Amino acid sequence: MISRYLESASTYSGDIDQLILIILLVVGFWFLLAEAIFLGLIFKFSAKEGVKAMYISGEDPREKRWVSLPHYATLLFDVLIIFVALRVWSEVKMTMPQADETVRVIAQQWAWTFVHPGPDGKLDTADDIRMVDELHVEQGKVYHFELTSRDVLHSFSVPVFRLKQDAVPGRIIKGWFKPTLTGAYDIQCTEICGIGHSLMPARIVIADADAHAAWVKANAPTAALTPPPGPAGGMP
């Protein structure tokens, strides 16, 4: 249902949408019912000519039930929400599937730096591709990300993945995603991180295997792709 308004582009975005929907329905149903009863009682017992207000201590068991029964219902539905939420939390945050590739995400006031592995598929080698405000990934691959910040708290949010993770200076926070759609989507910083916070958007480009390989080839540093020159003069 939520994906009608915001595309669902990761393997776990559907589970998170389902969780949000369950919370909305459970909380929304009881909210509307409670408000309806509340308004009904206000009209029913509003001040009337010649009727004296009654003092109710709430000690009579029949009156206490108006508090205790909704209280037990709240606890019951809380347990239901926690149960469903824990399942999703465990799948998204506690379990990291084996990575096909790792990218590094560095936040700072007010830009994102993304470090992609080059053609060798590994980070911290000469062919790494560094981009500002542009993250390129391949559809169907499991990515681990290493998230850090150069200055203050930021938050790495990819709404179509239903992914949001705080970036904390001094820490490297790991997470994962597996894109299921191709296209270009928003990345947003979702932590007020200073006066330029709203100037900190970026894009994620998800491409199929061929298009992504072509992008990697076209953007890898040329020095890393050119073989080192052989000894001058050739064979003696």
Under the binding rule (CB under 5 A), the answer on residue 19 touching Cu ion is no
Under the binding rule (CB under 5 A), the answer on residue 105 touching Cu ion is no
Q: Which CB sits closer to Cu ion, 154 or 178?
A: 154
Q: Which CB sits closer to Cu ion, 133 or 146?
A: 133
Report, in Å, the least distance between residue 141 CB and Cu ion. 26
Q: Which CB sits closer to Cu ion, 19 or 103?
A: 103
Burial of 160 (0-12, 13-18, 19+ CB in 10 A): buried
In the region spanning residues 161 to 200, those forming contacts with Cu ion, defined by CB under 5 A, are: 189, 193, 200
Under the binding rule (CB under 5 A), the answer on residue 202 touching Cu ion is no
State how far the Cα of 150 lies from the Cα of 201, in Å rounded to an integer: 17
CB 102 within 8 A of CB 123: yes
Report, in Å, the least distance between residue 189 CB and Cu ion. 3
Count of residues that bind Cu ion according to CB under 5 A: 4
Q: Which CB sits closer to Cu ion, 189 or 216?
A: 189
Report, in Å, the least distance between residue 187 CB and Cu ion. 11
In the region spanning residues 62 to 81, those forming contacts with Cu ion, defined by CB under 5 A, are: none
Report, in Å, the least distance between residue 175 CB and Cu ion. 17
Of 104, 116, 144, 154, the one binding Cu ion by CB under 5 A: 154
- Residue ranges binding Cu ion (CB under 5 A): 154, 189, 193, 200
